[in-house]
């Protein structure tokens, strides 16, 4: 059985622009809580206390910091309709 080999120069990831985009994406979602927060929000918008309850061991301060970071990076949006909900941007 013969295996074909891909030459290193044929790899689309070789472009420095592509590598920088991948690095930026990974930097945006890295960390202990960000992917967990995004996963909880995939079920729909949640209020801060609902997120805190579902994530159990996260402190309110850490949750607040992570939500701000995700909002700055436009991964989530904060909606203010009398009560603040997160998640419609996903």
pLDDT category of residue 31 using cuts at 50, 70 and 90: confident
**Is 28-73 assigned to CATH 1.10.10.10?**
yes
pTM of the entire predicted model: 0.66
Rg (CA), the chain: 18
Q: 86: helix, coil or strand? A: strand
In degrees and rounded to multiples of 5, residue 43 shows phi and psi of: -75, -10
Q: What is the pLDDT of residue 10?
A: 57
CA 33 to each of CA 12, 14, 56: distance values in angstroms, whole numbers, following the listed order: 31, 30, 11
Tell me the domain boundaries of the chain. 28-73
pLDDT category of residue 9 using cuts at 50, 70 and 90: low
Measured distance CA(42)–CA(79) in Å, rounded: 15
Of 54, 39, 49, whose CA–CA distance to 70 is shortest? 39
């Amino acid at each position: 059985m013969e295996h074909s080999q891909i030459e290193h120069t044929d790899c689309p990831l070789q472009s420095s622009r592509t590598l920088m985009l991948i690095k930026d994406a990974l930097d945006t979602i890295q960390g202990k809580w960000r992917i967990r927060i995004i996963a909880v929000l995939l079920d729909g918008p949640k209020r801060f206390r609902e997120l805190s309850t579902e994530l159990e061991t996260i402190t309110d301060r850490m949750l607040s910091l992570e939500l701000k970071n995700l909002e700055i990076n436009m991964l989530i949006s904060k909606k203010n309709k009398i009560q603040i909900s997160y998640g419609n941007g996903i």
